[in-house]
Amino acid sequence: MPRTPKRIGVLTGGGDCPGLNAVIRAVVRTADIDYNTEVVGFIDGYEGLVENHHRLLEQRDVSGILSTGGTILGTSNRADPFNFPVLQGEEYVKMDMSSQAVRNFESLGLDALIAIGGDGTMAASQDMIQLGVPIVGVPKTIDNDLYGTDVTFGFDSALITATDAVDKIHTTAQAHHRIMIVEVMGRNAGWLALGAGMAGGGDIVLIPEIPYDIDTVVETVRLRSSLGKTFSIVVIGEGARPKGGEVVVKRRVANSPDAIRLGGISHQLAAQLEGLTNIECRVTILGHLVRGGAPSPFDRILATRYGAESVHMVMRGEFGRMVGLHGRDLEAVSMAEVAGKQRQISLDHEWIKVALSMGTCLGNPSSVTLDEYVKV
């Protein structure tokens, strides 16, 4: 019979989001209460494992953090052990520090590692698994774009924040008779934009999965005006782009595994709409606002379930897997199936169908089917 793990590590990688602390709390409490097992927390994600920065986590350390946003361990989206930025002189050079990470893991006497993060963290974790590190993954991201689970924790909290912003934009749009454009995060997936647009009553919702036809957007605004509707609300994902056009890159981060930072498509759209409709446009980019604040009750419960189940998976020896939610049940998903994949909205998804039934403009002409339009 294999030995019961007595010391496990935990880290939070990638971008922050509401619910990370809830997972950490669940990991520590479940490990202690159910298994009398120590938990070591690594500081700033995989950076802590590479540089051996860590702290012992006891129950008193996680008391009162369930409702707190962010992460008490810190995080980093530049700390891939296989492409780790190392300062040499005045420049950073990416080096393979994975062997050092493995040595640190072994020197701490750890039996397993719980990696909480999105697709970048899962990809790095899969590579570490190939080096023999026993890892269990926990799916996190406000973008909801992680393969292998129906929903990631953090998404619901971000959706509430984004929807609240769209709600508030309505009153000022109506008062000044403007086109108001709200840009939200989401990278190459439109879950957050579509969700906030539907929940907030957006008239036009533009997502990465459906490149928008500017003439269709203009036609929608003009139609609303002809019906006596003196304003329009546009919700747009940062990764949206016009048909035949490119995404708008806000900046590039040289030391990051994913160097491209999207943002600013709303300003491009606003300039076009003002010129074509002669209606004043205003832009609100929510940015990191949607990452902050306390997690929603749904996310607190989901994060707690994920955290507790990840410890149970460690004890069952289910390494190389990520805990995922399918329907109402938690399941162990192969990390190899998750790594390197992104979960976008399929064109036949219920949200797409309902949005179209509500008369929401998704940027596609009504003269052709959605499938045909996107394929062209």
On whether residue 233 sits in a domain, the answer given is yes
Q: What average pLDDT does this structure show over 45-50?
A: 97
**258 and 122, same structural domain?**
no
Would you say residue 49 has pLDDT above 90?
yes
On whether residue 119 sits in a domain, the answer given is yes
Q: Which domain holds residue 195?
A: 159-291+346-375
On whether residue 2 sits in a domain, the answer given is no
CA pair distance 348, 297, nearest whole angstrom: 29
CA angle (43 as vertex; 38, 45 as ends), nearest 5: 100
pTM above 0.75, yes or no: yes
On whether residue 124 sits in a domain, the answer given is yes
Q: What is the mean pLDDT of the chain?
A: 93
**304 and 243, same structural domain?**
no
**300 and 275, same structural domain?**
no
**259 and 110, same structural domain?**
no
**27 and 96, same structural domain?**
yes
Domain of 18, CATH number, reads 3.40.50.450
On whether residue 13 sits in a domain, the answer given is yes
| Band of residue 248 on the pLDDT scale cut at 50, 70, 90 | confident
Would you say residue 110 has pLDDT above 50?
yes
CA pair distance 241, 269, nearest whole angstrom: 9
- Written as six digits, the tokens of 171 are 């009153």
In the numeric block, the tokens 């492409």 are attached to: 83
180: Cβ–Cβ under 8 A, 6 or more apart, which residues? 169, 170, 172, 173, 231, 232, 233, 234, 281, 282, 284
Give catalytic status of residue 348 as yes or no: no
CA pair distance 212, 231, nearest whole angstrom: 20
**164 and 101, same structural domain?**
no
**307 and 250, same structural domain?**
no
On whether residue 360 sits in a domain, the answer given is yes
Would you say residue 111 has pLDDT above 60?
yes
Would you say residue 244 has pLDDT above 80?
yes
- Written as six digits, the tokens of 153 are 């924790």
Least-confidence region, from 11-15, 56-60, 76-80, 251-255: 251-255
Phi-psi region of 263 (alpha: psi -120 to 50; beta: other; left: phi over 0): left
On whether residue 182 sits in a domain, the answer given is yes
- 16, 143, 203, 299: the catalytic one is 143
On whether residue 1 sits in a domain, the answer given is no
CA distances from 169 to 179, 237, 283, 286 (A): 10, 16, 10, 12
User: Do 237 and 190 form a contact (C-beta atoms < 8 A)?
Assistant: yes
**234 and 322, same structural domain?**
no
User: Do 254 and 204 form a contact (C-beta atoms < 8 A)?
Assistant: no
Helix (H) / strand (E) element for 330: namely: strand 329-334
Question: What pLDDT is stored for residue 44 in this prediction?
Answer: 96
**355 and 304, same structural domain?**
no
Q: What average pLDDT does this structure show over 195-200?
A: 97
Domain of 211, CATH number, reads 3.40.50.460
Provide the number of structural domains found in the chain. 2
Would you say residue 259 has pLDDT above 70?
no
Would you say residue 254 has pLDDT above 70?
no
**92 and 224, same structural domain?**
no
Question: What pLDDT is stored for residue 1 in this prediction?
Answer: 47
Burial 247-263 (b: 16+ CB within 10 A, else e): bbeeeeeebbbeeeebb
Phi-psi region of 214 (alpha: psi -120 to 50; beta: other; left: phi over 0): alpha
User: Do 155 and 298 form a contact (C-beta atoms < 8 A)?
Assistant: no
Q: How many CB atoms lie within 10 A of CB 22?
A: 28
Would you say residue 274 has pLDDT above 60?
yes
Would you say residue 141 has pLDDT above 50?
yes
**99 and 168, same structural domain?**
no
CA pair distance 264, 348, nearest whole angstrom: 28
User: Do 10 and 57 form a contact (C-beta atoms < 8 A)?
Assistant: yes
Helix (H) / strand (E) element for 292: namely: none
**368 and 221, same structural domain?**
yes
- Radius of gyration of the chain measured on its C-alpha atoms: 22
CA pair distance 330, 151, nearest whole angstrom: 11
153: Cβ–Cβ under 8 A, 6 or more apart, which residues? 17, 18, 19, 22, 23, 139, 140, 295, 299, 302, 303, 306
